[in-house]
Amino acid sequence: MNIVGIDGLTPEQVHGELQSGARFVVYQYCISILIMTFRRSSDIHFIRPGESRVAKGTGFTLPSLVAGWWGFPWGPIYTIGSLVTNLGGGKDVTAEVAHAMFAPQPQQYYAPPVPPGAWPPPPGPPPS
């Protein structure tokens, strides 16, 4: 997934913002066409400290309000779920994203080359 709002920031700056209270948030939206209802999640949004998470989700709440209700039976159900999520500030995925961004990467281990005749001998029958 794409992360909206971290363009031009170094990983150290993102980490500093997270320590100050920034959050990674995903919003939901719902679009219905008679018997078909589509519920989708937005890209991940980086919300800095002091920014309104609810206001950032308005672009996903309004389409759900207008076009989410019309599918039967899931339109109203998914629309209400999307509205509850978005008006609650979106789904906070900070822990998952921060873990993926800042978790130590496993180190590759390469064994040093073994010179010929070194101990232990290679597996197989003894040389004749």
Q: Which residues contact 62 (CB under 8 A, 6 or more apart)?
A: none
pLDDT (tens digit per residue) in 46-98:
999 999 999 999 999 999 999 999 998 899 999 999 999 999 999 999 999 99
- Helices marked H in 37-93: 53-56, 58-67, 74-87
Residue 103 pLDDT > 90, yes or no?
Answer: no
Q: Do 76 and 39 meet the contact criterion of CB atoms below 8 Å apart?
A: no
Domain ranges of the chain: 3-102
What is the predicted pLDDT for the residue at 120? Answer: 66
